[in-house]
């Protein structure tokens, strides 16, 4: 008999299962740096917990955050007909729409930017909206001259992409910008530098992102937009030709780098250079799993306390209109995992301050959404939040989700002393290596005799509380191992397998 170690490595479902250098499944956990070359440490993922039992009158379509001149945090939300603020006093969505509300069409959503004390939002269906966060009373029209699907700010300008105006109608490849430091002035003028530019040859504008420069992301290309001053204002330079963004809702900027989904997978844009981040790992898995007819439901947000990006989406198994899966990316290590959705809409937010009296809203201590040392209780802290389909707000401090991890398929006789030359092995016991006294693990062994056969899975076996091993006694030529970890565990790193050659006939 021999005991071999299998360290957890990259989640690479795109590669063949047999002798895959990574994991076939890493679900309901998050990826972190491992202890050795190529190793990955997996961390627990908390489920959503109700923060505020509030409601919108239809599905959320956007969100925004900011603060007033006194540093008070502001949280805004949007649906098809209304714009809301999350009232600090009672954590309820409060309608602060312009008079008459809005008529966002089914194919549109809201995008927001901050410009000084202003929060500015656009949905293409209606006039661009703004609110002064120092007053925080009601949204109003920023301008009636132009509408846009996408919005950004750069070098003192508010920039709209994929626009509509009364003269030219819809121009999906147009970029238009306000006067310098004049966010409400959109009249073309050499004095204010308000103007526009049409970007030809790359399809429709899918988003606008900024770092020290500005990039217009289109369907089939990326164009850099560099401020040069009067009379041309901006210079437009092709940076990527033939590759763009397929889902506008997938775009996110984190630490000056931009991430999005293209037709063939996920990419990072940094300083105008495009790098694939999912090829050979998860791109094919995602494109096979996602229902791209419901791509409009995708939301993306970054964890402010860990180097993680979360793309939430509807899979082909989802109930129509309900995102059910999350793809998680560690943008420092380049590793991926997946999870079940526990909300319908992910967004980056800021916490609102609490008083002891306000805790009465939860009725019972068991309903409190997070431990009392969580940043959620302090105002102005960056947070990862979610909403359900009717706008109730959730934080992610609930019970730990049960993780499911699957190793590659291996032929164990190639990895243990095998003087007989046998090509089948008996697996006696399996021990997952994880930390956290509140966690428990169960094991399944998948077996088959030929590479092209389907796996046969054993029943779940509990790990012995004294030895840590689950005793399985399984014989086959090829093996795969599934580990389910539940309870309050803290990190998982590898698997120990007790096996022996089965003998040669």
* Structural contact between residues 351 and 73, judged by C-beta atoms closer than 8 angstroms: yes
Instruction: Quickly count: other Cβ atoms within 10 Å of residue 117's Cβ.
Output: 16
What residues contact residue 154 under an 8 Å CB cut-off, 6+ apart? 210, 214, 225, 227
One domain, residues 334 and 259 = yes
pLDDT exceeds cutoff 90 at 318: yes
Label residue 358 by pLDDT band (50, 70, 90).
very low
Q: Is residue 194 part of a domain?
A: no
**Distance (Å, rounded) from C-alpha 365 to C-alpha 370?**
10
Residue 34 belongs to domain with CATH number: 2.60.120
Task: Give the model confidence (pLDDT) of 236-276 as tens digits.
Answer: 999 999 999 999 999 999 999 999 999 999 999 999 999 99
What residues contact residue 409 under an 8 Å CB cut-off, 6+ apart? 17, 18, 19, 20, 24, 446, 448, 451, 455, 478, 479, 480
Domain ends where: 315, 341, 367?
341
Instruction: Quickly count: other Cβ atoms within 10 Å of residue 25's Cβ.
Output: 17
Q: Is residue 25 part of a domain?
A: yes
One domain, residues 259 and 337 = yes
H or E element that contains 286: helix 283-289
Q: Is residue 297 part of a domain?
A: yes
Task: Give the model confidence (pLDDT) of 74-83 as tens digits.
Answer: 999 999 999 9
150 SS3 class: strand
Q: Is residue 476 part of a domain?
A: yes
pLDDT exceeds cutoff 60 at 377: no
Task: Give the model confidence (pLDDT) of 14-67 as tens digits.
Answer: 999 998 999 999 999 999 998 878 899 999 999 999 999 999 999 999 999 999
pTM of this prediction? 0.93
One domain, residues 413 and 333 = no
pLDDT of 1: 64
Closest CA to 340 of 399, 269, 261: 399
Is there a cis peptide before residue 231, judged by omega within 30 degrees of 0?
yes
Beta bridge mates, 131 = 119
pLDDT exceeds cutoff 60 at 496: yes
**φ and ψ at residue 285, rounded to 5 degrees:** -60, -45
Q: Is residue 291 part of a domain?
A: yes
**Distance (Å, rounded) from C-alpha 140 to C-alpha 127?**
9
Per cent of the chain over pLDDT 70 is: 94
pLDDT exceeds cutoff 80 at 375: no
Residue 256 belongs to domain with CATH number: 2.40.10
Q: Is residue 186 part of a domain?
A: no
Q: Is residue 189 part of a domain?
A: no
Q: Which domain holds residue 31?
A: 2-45+403-501
H or E element that contains 497: strand 491-501
Instruction: Quickly count: other Cβ atoms within 10 Å of residue 59's Cβ.
Output: 17
What is the residue-averaged pLDDT of the chain? 93
Give 293: exposed, middle or buried? Use CB within 10 Å, 0-12, 13-18, 19+. Answer: exposed
pLDDT exceeds cutoff 50 at 319: yes
One domain, residues 414 and 495 = yes
Domain ends where: 318, 341, 364?
341
Number of domains in the chain: 2
Q: Is residue 135 part of a domain?
A: no
Domain ends where: 295, 320, 341?
341
């Amino acid at each position: 008999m021999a005991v071999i170690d299998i360290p957890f490595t990259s989640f690479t479902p795109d590669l063949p299962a047999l002798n895959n250098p990574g994991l076939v499944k890493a679900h309901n956990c998050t990826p972190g740096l491992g202890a050795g070359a190529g190793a990955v440490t997996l961390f627990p993922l908390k489920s959503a917990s109700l923060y505020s039992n509030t409601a919108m009158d239809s599905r959320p379509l956007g969100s925004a955050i900011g603060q007033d001149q006194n540093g008070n945090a502001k949280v805004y939300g949007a649906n098809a007909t209304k714009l809301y603020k999350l009232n600090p006093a009672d954590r309820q969505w409060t309608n602060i729409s312009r008079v008459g509300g809005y008529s966002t069409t089914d194919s549109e959503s809201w995008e927001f930017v901050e410009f000084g004390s202003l929060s500015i939002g656009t949905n293409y269906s209606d006039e661009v909206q703004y609110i002064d966060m120092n007053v925080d009373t009601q949204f109003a029209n920023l301008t009636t001259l132009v509408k846009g699907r996408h919005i950004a700010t750069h070098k003192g300008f508010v920039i709209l992409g994929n626009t509509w105006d009364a003269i030219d109608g819809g121009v999906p490849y147009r970029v238009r910008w306000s006067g310098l430091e004049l966010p409400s002035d959109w009249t073309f003028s050499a004095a204010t530098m308000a103007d526009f530019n049409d970007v030809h040859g790359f399809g429709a504008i899918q988003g606008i992102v900024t770092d020290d420069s500005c990039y217009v992301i289109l369907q089939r290309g990326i164009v850099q937009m560099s401020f040069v001053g009067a009379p041309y204002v901006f210079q437009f330079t092709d940076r990527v030709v033939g590759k763009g963004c397929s889902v506008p809702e997938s775009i996110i900027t984190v630490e000056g780098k931009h991430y999005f989904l293209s037709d063939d997978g996920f990419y990072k844009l940094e300083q105008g250079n495009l790098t694939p981040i999912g090829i050979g790992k998860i791109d094919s898995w995602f494109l096979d799993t996602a229902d791209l007819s419901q791509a409009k439901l995708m939301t993306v947000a970054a964890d402010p306390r860990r180097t993680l990006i979360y793309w939430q989406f509807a899979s082909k198994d989802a109930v129509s209109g309900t995102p059910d899966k999350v793809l998680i990316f560690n943008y420092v290590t380049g590793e991926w995992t997946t999870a079940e959705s526990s909300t319908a809409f992910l967004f980056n937010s800021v916490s609102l301050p609490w008083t002891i009296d306000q805790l009465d809203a939860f009725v019972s201590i068991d309903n409190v959404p997070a431990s009392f040392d969580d940043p959620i209780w302090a105002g102005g802290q960056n947070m990862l939040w979610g909403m359900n389909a009717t706008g109730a707000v959730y934080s992610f401090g609930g019970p730990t989700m049960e993780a499911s991890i699957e190793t590659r398929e291996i032929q164990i006789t190639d990895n243990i002393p095998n003087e007989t030359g046998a090509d089948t092995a008996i697996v006696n016991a399996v021990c997952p290596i994880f930390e956290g006294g509140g966690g428990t693990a169960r094991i399944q062994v998948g077996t088959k005799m030929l590479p092209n056969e389907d796996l046969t899975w054993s029943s779940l076996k509990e790990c012995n509380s004294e030895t840590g091993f689950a005793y399985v006694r399984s014989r086959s030529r090829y093996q795969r191992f599934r580990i389910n970890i539940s309870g309050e565990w803290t990190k998982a790193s590898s698997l120990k397998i007790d096996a022996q050659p089965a003998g040669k006939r």
